[in-house]
Amino acid sequence: MPKALRPRRAIRPIAVFALVLTTLSAPLALLLDAREREPNGVYAERRAHLVAQLSAPVLLFGYTGRENSSPSYVFLQEPNFYYLTGHNEEGAALLLVPSGTAEKSWKGANEILFLPPRKSEEEKWNGPRMGPTDADVQKKTGFAAIEAFSNLKSHLTDLAQSYHEIWTLAPHAEDTGYPHAREWSAWITQAAPGIAVRDAAAAIGAMRQIKTPGEIALLTKAIELSMDAQLAATRMVRPGLYEYQVAARMVEIHAYGGCETEAYAPIVGTGLHSTILHFNQLDALIQDGDVVLIDVGGQYSGYTADITRTLPANGHFTGRQREIYDIVLGAQNAVLAAMKPGATLGRQGSNSLFKVAYDYINTHGADRDGRSLGRYFTHGLGHHIGLEVHDAGDPSRPLEPGMVVTAEPGVYIPEERIGVRIEDDVLITPTGYKLLTARLPRSVDEIEKIMAEAKVARDERSSER
């Protein structure tokens, strides 16, 4: 999914909690939660690494569960909070206090997880939650110190005696959607007047950009399921289907494989809709002669895939569609050839991957008026993926091993009803890159072959009836 110029901090939508049945070794089926969680030690290491960089306490708030009024809303944690705690329940807070500041008057623990009290009436409706006095809550969460949320305010007042500043998620002018950072920053200022709020987003974001092996495993799972769904879409697409029917099949594959939700609202755009970057109506009938742009990704255990393919509705690109497709593919191949540590996603500078794609597109082909095509590449080259589909990331920061980013050049010509985007997910390695989506064909010939084979199979099935 191309990234909007203004960051969209959307609350993630409907989640489907799938359960995975495994019978691999146990004689009886073993019931596991689909949502995997990394070991507690991983989250503890991240907290230690963060607080070691900062000279003052860090206070972060999880989501309250009241961020979204939709009846179909299923809770998903604020991503920075989840990254540091692995805790996926409502109403929690995290306090980290730097150690080794002997002159300070703080005598509390260096890290405290604050949880709301359990409410038996609510649990009748919503199911059990962890509470601060549960016997096993330390073992489950990996925190030695767990307190009732109501204790937080007095701790904050104490800290304000020793520290003049505190790190949290500070509000931004461009924040949209639920005012999480603004409300909790105001709460801090009210609880501890005089303490300065500093923004921890950049420090946490810098850590989130480098994925650990555990994160790469979860991303890979999301990507594998999303490639399965893209392949099913390639075999399915034909004139006479509605856009939403293609999306429905893909969502089913994600959910059946263990994804808890979609990484973003599925984009399936036929004809003119292929030129709309975040098209989300999905209400049109696929017509003979259209191209169909499919930008759909699942989310597995918190981690998002983001993959786009563009298909010919009837199984064969026209000459002009193939020409545009091959220009986008050529641009993507040029980008991949330059993908390595040191390159940047941004538009400026000598190592800009955007510039590689733009220059390729702008020096190949032309529009109906003979103008070069760079003007039709209307979004950025790519973005980080992780706990958010547009994950924490600074486009000017050179790529480093362990980063996972998208490479998604596109050309959108509304007057010709042709939009082509090819989007793949890439792990940066010490010497170059690993294409995590390599299993999913990108070339015209491969795509047309899969579609032709699927058509033969469909025709055989219908002649048997």
Contact set with Mn ion (CB under 5 A): 1, 306, 406
Q: What is d(CA 248, CA 297) in angstroms, rounded to the nearest whole number?
A: 12
Q: Which long-range contacts (CB under 8 A, 24 or more apart) does 81-84 make?
A: 82/302, 82/387, 83/43, 83/46, 83/204, 83/207, 83/208, 83/387, 84/43, 84/46, 84/47, 84/50, 84/60, 84/204
Cβ proximity to Mn ion: between 188 and 426 the closer is 426
Burial class (CB in 10 A: 0-12, 13-18, 19+), 11: middle
Q: What is d(CA 371, CA 432) in angstroms, rounded to the nearest whole number?
A: 34
The neighbouring-strand residues paired with 412 are 419
For 405, the token pair is 């980013």
Cβ proximity to Mn ion: between 168 and 274 the closer is 274
Cβ proximity to Mn ion: between 156 and 405 the closer is 405
Cβ proximity to Mn ion: between 3 and 87 the closer is 3
Cβ proximity to Mn ion: between 56 and 405 the closer is 405
Rg (CA), the chain: 24
Q: Are 301 and 35 in contact (CB under 8 A)?
A: yes
Cβ proximity to Mn ion: between 185 and 437 the closer is 437
Q: Are 249 and 236 in contact (CB under 8 A)?
A: yes
Least separation, in Å, of the C-beta of 458 and Mn ion? 31
- Alpha-helical (H) ranges within 282-417 are 319-338, 353-362
Least separation, in Å, of the C-beta of 383 and Mn ion? 6
Least separation, in Å, of the C-beta of 217 and Mn ion? 21
